[in-house]
Amino acid sequence: MARNTQIFRTTPQSSRLFTWGDFIAILLVAALLYLGVNLAFNAPEVIAGPEISISPAKLPFYTALSVGRMTAAYILSMLFTLVYGRAAAYHRRAERLLMPLLDVLQSVPILSFLPVVLLSLSAILPEGLAVELASIVLIFTSQAWNLTFAWYQSLSTLPTELREASTIFRLNPWMKFKKLELPFGMISLVWNSMMSWAGGWFFLMAAETFTVGSRDFRLPGLGSYLHEAADQNNFNAIALGVAALILTVVLLDQLVWRPLLAWSDKFKVEMIENDNPPNSWFYELIRKSFLAKWFSKRVFQPINETFDRSILRRFPFKSGIRSNRKIQELATYILITLFSLALIYVLFRAGQMLIMIPLTDWAQVFTGVGATLLRVMIALLFALIWTIPMGVAIGTNQRLAAILQPVVQVTASVPATALFPVILLLVINLPGGLNLAAVLLMLMGTQWYLLFNIIAGASAIPQDLKYTAKLMQLSRWQRWRTLILPAIFPYLITGAITASGGAWNASIIAEYQNLGGQTLSVTGIGSLIAKATALGNYPLLLAATLVMVLTVILVNRLLWRRLYVLAEEKYRMEV
């Protein structure tokens, strides 16, 4: 490991795995879940969903609606990421609560959270608005967490030399964000944005086709089109829907993601220029166009400079006005006291609901969480076996990336929920049956988080370090041991944390399915949550969700957090 420390900075390790922030975060989520469940009892008994047409003429409109929801959720996710991740990275007191809360939030199963959101919103908002907001919230929860973890990891591993340079040049927070933090984290943000969109497509069908008993929360969109086509066994419509999805993904790849990758390559921290930088025909077209140059010079730059000057005048390098500090502290204490009292009351009511659950149901909950944990670990192991070599190959070879990256993006964006009935038919009669199908669906829901993060880590390896390894005539194994694995390690852990959360989320679908009017299920916490949702057993839904959350937090703290601290302190890349 001596060579590793020459390339990656080693710092003393100190981190408590369990803090008061963990307990507060769990209590906050428990309180929010209880409030949602309590509101759910007041939701309308019958909600009639809209009629979904599978006419090909409707596909463009449905596709536009789905892309619109995805875009709204992504904008919300990016705003959340930039604010939340920065606060967690730079404010140690806030980090003690924010990072445990992020662990909890990313571990909450999306599909167990959705009925609570849908029913509670429909109780207080008009039906159409409630369903749209719930759909966007669901997609947001499938996009935001990996972005936030990646942004936090980038800020936590900023080279010390760059931090000191920003202090020497007296950059205020805005200029530091614009000139240092955002450029340094850009490659990781772009790759994780692609992953977020893939994750959004994965849960699009669930977001647009959710039903709870006699309540139909369907929304017109590409996901509901595919779901309706599958219900009618209309394979022509399924093929058209999948083709529309693939065409949309390809267009986004060529017009959005490939240009962003080509543009973000200039932010790579290296002393030698890459011989084969990522390229994009659309990016080159825009960069060389007269209209783009005119807009940049005449419109964008003046607005940008005016805004920067305004921020610099308003927030200089050292601006600390503390004349009202005592008043602010008093107001903070009052707000904390009121919030604590409200939280205690809500938790007391939640405890009353949980006490009503029979011991036999609790036994099912703990048995189910153990079975699902085993499936999650198996799926994660298989994902690691193929994503590490594939991700490194794509991230270090631009010619290969130009071929495989669009293929990976398209494949990752095809929702496994649309293909799962076909997978079930293929494996249901094999040894393991539905258990094998459940692991396969979990694998399809987790592997892309790992792959895209590994690609981002491999892409960020400075070219001069690659040349140094080549000049030293290191063998392939030595390059992997001393350069590649240490370089991708922080990204690998970030991907593993979000992949683990993705596997728990996918368990809701993987362990409980309706196929041809027949209900198929296996023992697992996801299956139990799905059954509780279908039967409207909200106390059991609350209990199962909380146990799943606690289990994921324990895994994160005992395994992933240790590795995350190691990545942050030992494998920080320095200039």
Beta strands in 410-566 (DSSP E): 512-515, 518-521
Residue 112 pLDDT: 60
211's enclosing H/E stretch is: strand 211-212
- If pLDDT is split at 50, 70 and 90, which confidence band does 575 have? very low
Predicted local confidence at residue 417, as pLDDT: 65
Q: Return d(Cα 124, Cα 142) in angstroms, integer.
A: 24
CATH class of the 60-267+357-573 domain in this structure? mainly alpha
For 17-68, write each residue's pLDDT tens digit: 566 666 777 777 777 777 776 666 665 555 556 778 888 888 999 999 999 9
pLDDT in tens, 454-499: 888 888 787 777 777 778 877 778 888 888 888 888 888 888 887 8
- Reply yes or no on whether the pLDDT at 71 is more than 90: yes
Residue type, 495: G
C-alpha to C-alpha distance for 459 and 314, rounded to whole angstroms:
38
Angle between helices 110-124 and 20-40 (to 10 degrees): 50
For residue 239, give the nearest of 410, 404, 419, 408 by alpha carbon. Answer: 419
pLDDT score, position 75 = 94
> Which pTM value belongs to this model?
0.72
Confidence of residue 320 (pLDDT cuts 50, 70, 90): very low
Model pLDDT for residues 410-442, shown as the tens digit of each residue = 777 666 666 666 676 677 777 767 788 888 888
CA distance 123 to 94: 33
Task: Select the more confidently predicted residue: 322 or 545.
Answer: 545
Report the pLDDT averaged over residues 496-507.
Answer: 79
Q: pLDDT tens for residues 216-264?
A: 677 888 888 887 787 777 878 888 888 888 888 888 888 888 888 888 8
Buried b (16+ CB within 10 A) or exposed e, 417-441: bbbbbebbeebeeeeeebbbbbbbb
Tell me what the pLDDT averaged over the chain comes to: 77
The answer to whether 59 and 244 are in contact (CB under 8 A) is yes
- Write down the domain spans for the chain: 60-267+357-573, 282-314
Per-residue pLDDT averaged across 157-180, rounded?
79
Tokens of 481: 């041991």
pLDDT at 293: 80
Does the pLDDT of residue 81 top 90, yes or no?
Answer: yes
How many Å apart are CA 407 and CA 517, to the nearest integer?
34
Task: Kindly give, in sequence order, each residue whose CB lies less than 8 Å from that of residue 245, ignoring residues fewer than 6 positions away.
Answer: 63, 201, 222, 226, 413, 414, 415
User: For residue 323, what pLDDT is reported?
Assistant: 44
pLDDT score at 15:
47
